[in-house]
Every structure is written in structure tokens, then in C-alpha cells.
Amino acid sequence: MGSLICENCGRTFTFDVIPRRGAVCFACHVKGVRFGFQQGQQMFHDKTIREQEREIVDSAKRDGREIEYVGNRWV
């Protein structure tokens, strides 16, 4: 067990195993980590799946097509 002084905030923190992040406390380490995503961001902020489904069904009805769900038909 050891202790280090954080390079960012100056607080003393203890550890069991030397951290791979160096002399940075966990609080400062978490501030530097970006909790985000690259793919799927558009889908997360866009229409819901139900809204997309309704839009597809409505456009098919306007075009005179009949939609058959894959889960409801016998394959």
C-alpha cells in the first residue's frame, strides 16, 4: 500500500497497486475520461424505433404497398 500526491489537484491518495494512470487521483482521472460514443449518436438523438416504424408503414401505405412484418410471418 502506498500513497501519492495527485499531479492535478494536489490531494494525497492511497493505492494497493501502483495505478497505470500515474500520479493522478481517481477523481481527476475520471474528469479526463470522455464518456461518449462515436457511432450511434444520431440514432440516440433522432427518432425512436417506434416513430421510424410508423413512418415506414405510413410511406408504404401512401405508395400502395403492403408491409408484412418478419416476426409475424411463417418462414
DSSP state of 33: S
**Domain presence at residue 72:** no
Structural domain count, the chain: 1
What is the model's pLDDT at position 41? Answer: 60
SS3 state at 75? coil
Domain coverage including residue 9: 2-66
DSSP state of 70: G
This prediction's pTM: 0.40
**Domain presence at residue 61:** yes
DSSP letters for 2-30: EEEE-TTT--EEEESS--TT-S--HHHHH
12-58 pLDDT, tens digit per residue, is: 888 888 888 888 888 888 876 766 655 566 666 777 888 888 999 99
Task: Provide the residue count of the chain.
Answer: 75
